[in-house]
């Protein structure tokens, strides 16, 4: 077996395992949902078969036991109890280990999991309702998608399997067959009505369609006692070709089976197709697009400095095409946050079992999209935040009852887009953060003095200091603050910001503001002294002129009046120590992160700039004022300002000035 084939199997197996996990988690809420049971069974069956095909014998053998257990659930022999579903969830993790490390020694762990599974099946056996004995009559209506033949599906084989289950009367529905001149030989247009009398049960009927069920329309219903079979079976339809105007019309007395307008005669159904592309190839393509943007910037600079109109026309066309290519590339890299949020359902399930608390996770804004690289780097910070919320934010059932709260604690994950950023919020309805304990811990660690006056925002930000924890006892899960410094560093490395709010007795809310992408951004190019810098355009609110009189009046306090409110500003010339005297007509660029905003004083606003973000060298990586660099059209380097860090500096400056007053 080639390495490439094994790699393809592992990719598909991971996707299958994710679907199995999501199905199991849904079963915890809807244990009677037969569609979920069927979906999990199909996933296990597919994983077992493909594992054996690709030489993953240990995986196939282990999965067989889980498949057998769920087969009994499908047949109604055992109930889908919480313990049984949890046992299969734990077994699912072991399947992943067997898939990723097939040569490892996993035997002992597998034996323990199978013993837990066997025990859960025995207990579920007693909880299962008794199956009704004897034969039953079923009515089955099904049709297949138009591309069924292309996918290798044989309808005659399905009908033959149905006949093997018992006495069957089969009627074909030809109402969707188009006129002869419009028929595509490779397309499928038929549907069937079947009345089947069998003692095999519903699960046996569903087994016939197990591998095509997701792509077809299927309805299975029992015929009530005394209902005449003739009424259920439709009169066979003549195979004469219908006229074009009547091709889509239902036959009198017939209820068409899921008649899709897209597949009506004369309409050509569009089938969405997708291609699996390795992530590193997308990253490489993104790099090439970035280089193209830089080259296009150089071309624009050359064309604008000359008088050749033909060159300028070509430059403008290249600029348009590179912009469209950039936008297309950005869309290819964007993925919905649902791919991230879905991982935490399992985490919350495990946390609930470990802590003994009833926890409910809800999500909102799953369709919000963000760069795949950002998604990957957000996973660990969100795990820290959710574990803290579950372990130390939410109270026990007894404490919640005493506080007049529902026994089930709630954690809510939400996401929405705000300009060039995505805001992700983690909210719990727990006890909230104890300010007195936070302050006492900060004073004990020497972070603040007892006489220091802190705003509520600054006090809550203390929990992001390394090793800071207010937990009375550190558990094996988390301590309030343990790992929070890692969360803050990771978010800041993404050029994002983190904020926290809390109300005693009502819960806490942590908000993460993350840029949509880390590759190419729209920026505002400015000049300070002889240097040029880029400010992310998504953070810019407005630009103002700082007159000489206002500049002189603001000396010593660095505030500017903006629509009846005072906004602190930073003089970038002083921060960067350019060594040149200030210019007469300076500009103020007002930037913001969330609710906080400051002004940045610059010498000149050059204009907007498509910014290809390059990482800083190791020598400069520790400079907090800059989040990266970019190459301009003339080949020179411009540093990208870290707006979050500058806003924090401005707020600190404002606090010091107010204390001085």
Tens digits of residue pLDDT in 456-486:
877 888 888 777 765 555 454 554 444 688 8
What integer pLDDT is reported at residue 655 of this predicted model? 65
- Residue 256 has a pLDDT of 41
* Overall average pLDDT of the 510-532 stretch: 84
pLDDT mean over 94-102? 90
Confidence of residue 260 (pLDDT cuts 50, 70, 90): very low
Mean local confidence (pLDDT), 431-447: 86
Of the given ranges (110-124, 231-245, 401-415), which has the lowest mean pLDDT?
231-245
pLDDT band at 300 (very low <50, low <70, confident <90, very high): confident
Mean pLDDT of 417-436: 86
pLDDT of residue 469: 66
Contact indicator for 280, 372 with CB cutoff of 8 Å:
no
CATH class of 337-515: alpha beta
State how far the Cα of 118 lies from the Cα of 72, in Å rounded to an integer.
Answer: 12
Backbone angles phi, psi at 13, to 5 degrees: -65, -40
Q: Evaluate whether the domain defined by 520-660 bears CATH number 2.30.30.40.
A: yes
From the CA atom positions of the chain, what is the Rg in Å? Answer: 32
Mean pLDDT over the full length of the chain: 80
Residues annotated as catalytic (active site), given as ranges: 45, 67, 388
Count of residues in the chain:
661
Lowest-pLDDT choice from 44-58, 357-371, 384-398, 441-455: 441-455
Q: Which CATH number is correct for 280-335, 3.40.30, 1.10.3470, 2.40.160, 1.10.287? A: 1.10.287
279 or 66, greater pLDDT: 66
Question: Residue 127: what pLDDT?
Answer: 59
pLDDT for the residue 557: 63
Q: Contact at 8 Å (CB) between 135 and 199?
A: yes
Q: Reply yes or no on whether the pLDDT at 259 is more than 50.
A: no
Cα 42 to the center of its chain, rounded Å: 24
Whole-angstrom distance, CA of residue 414 vs CA of residue 308: 53
DSSP 624: T
Q: How far apart are CA 339 and CA 343, in angstroms?
A: 7
Per-residue tokens: 611 = 């910014």
Could you give the CA distance from residue 294 to residue 326 in angstroms, rounded to a whole number? 12
User: pLDDT-based confidence at 531, cuts 50/70/90?
Assistant: confident
pLDDT for res 553: 67
- Scanning 512-642, the segments in alpha helix (DSSP H) are 548-553, 572-576
321 compared with 200, residue with greater pLDDT: 321
- Tell me, what's the pLDDT at 413? 93
Q: Which of 280-289, 478-487, 618-627 has the lowest mean pLDDT?
A: 478-487
Triad 212, 215, 219: Cα angle to 5°: 80
What's the CATH class of domain 3-127?
mainly alpha
CATH code at 136-241:
3.30.70
CB 183 within 8 A of CB 177: yes
Helix (H) or strand (E) holding 333: helix 309-333
Whole-structure pTM value: 0.66
Residue-wise pLDDT tens digits, 347-402:
898 888 888 899 999 999 988 888 888 888 888 889 999 998 888 889 988 989 99
CA 597 centroid distance within chain: 30
**What φ, ψ does residue 351 adopt, rounded to 5°?**
-65, -40
Q: Phi, psi (5° rounding) for residue 568? A: -70, 150
The pair of three-digit structure tokens given for residue 17, joined into one six-digit string = 């395992």
Residues 6+ apart with CB under 8 A from 513: 418, 421, 422, 423, 496, 497, 498, 499, 593, 594
Tell me which residue has tokens 């002294």. Answer: 529
What number of helices (H) and strands (E) belong to the chain?
A: 20, 21
Confidence band of 79 (pLDDT split at 50, 70, 90): confident
Q: Residues of 225-247 as b/e, b for ≥16 C-beta within 10 angstroms?
A: eeeeeeebebeeeeeebbeeeeb
Range 214-227 average pLDDT: 73
* Residue the block writes with tokens 């007395």: 253
How many alpha carbons fall within 13 Å on the CB side of residue 343? 15
**Predicted pLDDT at 235:** 41
CA distance 320 to 314: 10
Where do the domains of the chain lie? 3-127, 136-241, 280-335, 337-515, 520-660
3-state secondary structure (DSSP) of residue 554: coil
């Amino acid at each position: 077996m080639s390495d490439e084939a094994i790699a393809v199997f592992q990719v598909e197996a991971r996707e299958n395992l994710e679907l199995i996990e999501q199905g199991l988690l849904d079963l915890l809420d809807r244990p009677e949902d037969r569609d979920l049971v069927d979906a999990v069974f199909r996933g296990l069956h597919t994983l077992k078969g493909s594992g054996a095909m690709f030489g993953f014998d240990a995986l196939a053998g282990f999965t067989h036991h889980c498949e057998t257990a769920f087969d009994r659930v499908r047949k109604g022999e055992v109930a889908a109890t919480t313990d049984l579903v949890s046992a299969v969830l734990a077994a699912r993790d072991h399947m992943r280990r067997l898939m990723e490390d097939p040569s490892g020694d996993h035997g002992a762990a597998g034996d323990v999991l199978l013993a837990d599974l066997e025990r859960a099946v025995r207990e579920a056996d007693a909880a299962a309702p008794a199956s009704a004995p004897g034969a039953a009559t079923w009515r089955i209506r099904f049709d297949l998608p138009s591309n069924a033949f292309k996918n290798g599906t044989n309808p005659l084989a399905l009908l033959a399997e149905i006949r093997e289950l018992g006495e069957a009367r089969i009627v074909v529905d030809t109402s969707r067959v188009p006129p002869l001149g419009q028929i595509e030989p490779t397309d499928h247009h038929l549907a069937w009505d079947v009345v089947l009398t069998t003692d095999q049960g519903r699960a046996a009927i569903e087994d016939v369609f197990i591998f095509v069920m997701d792509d077809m329309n299927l309805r299975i219903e029992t015929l009530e006692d005394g209902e005449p079979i003739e009424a259920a079976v439709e009169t066979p339809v003549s195979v004469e070709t219908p006229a074009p105007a009547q091709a889509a019309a239902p036959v009198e007395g017939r209820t068409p089976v899921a008649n899709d307008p897209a597949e009506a005669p004369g309409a050509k159904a569009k089938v969405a197709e997708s291609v699996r592309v390795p992530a590193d190839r997308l990253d490489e393509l993104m790099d090439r697009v970035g280089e193209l943007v830089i080259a296009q910037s150089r071309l624009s600079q050359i064309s604008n400095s000359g008088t050749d109109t033909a060159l300028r026309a070509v430059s403008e066309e290249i600029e348009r095409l590179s912009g469209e290519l950039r936008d297309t590339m950005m869309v290819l890299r964007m993925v919905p946050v649902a791919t991230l949020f879905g991982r935490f359902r399992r985490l919350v399930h495990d946390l609930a079992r470990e802590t003994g608390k009833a926890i409910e996770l809800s999500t909102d804004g799953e369709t919000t999209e963000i760069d795949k690289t950002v998604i990957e780097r957000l996973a660990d910070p969100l795990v820290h935040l959710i574990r803290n919320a579950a372990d130390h934010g939410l109270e026990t059932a007894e404490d919640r009852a005493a506080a007049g709260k529902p026994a089930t604690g709630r954690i809510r994950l939400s996401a929405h887009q705000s300009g060039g950023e995505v805001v992700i919020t983690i909210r719990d309805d727990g006890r909230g953060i104890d300010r007195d304990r936070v302050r006492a811990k900060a004073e004990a660690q020497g972070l603040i003095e007892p006489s220091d006056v802190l705003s509520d925002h600054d006090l809550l930000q203390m929990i992001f200091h390394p090793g800071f924890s207010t937990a009375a006892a550190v558990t094996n899960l988390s301590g309030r603050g343990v790992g929070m410094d890692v969360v803050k560093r990771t978010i800041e490395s993404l050029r994002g910001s983190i904020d926290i709010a809390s109300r005693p007795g009502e819960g806490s809310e942590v908000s993460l503001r993350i840029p949509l992408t880390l590759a190419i951004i729209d920026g505002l190019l400015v000049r300070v002294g002889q240097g040029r810098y880029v400010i992310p355009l998504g953070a810019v609110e407005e630009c103002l002129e700082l007159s000489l009189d206002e500049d002189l009046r603001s000396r010593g306090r660095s505030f500017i009046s903006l629509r009846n409110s005072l906004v602190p500003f930073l003089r970038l010339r002083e921060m960067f120590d350019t060594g040149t005297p200030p210019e007469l007509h300076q500009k103020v660029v007002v930037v913001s992160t969330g609710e906080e905003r400051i002004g940045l004083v610059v010498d000149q606003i050059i204009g907007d700039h498509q910014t290809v973000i390059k990482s800083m060298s190791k020598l400069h990586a520790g400079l907090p004022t800059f989040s990266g660099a970019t190459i301009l059209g003339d080949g020179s380097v411009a540093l990208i300002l870290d707006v979050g860090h500058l806003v924090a500096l401005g707020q600190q400056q404002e606090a010091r000035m107010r204390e001085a007053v």
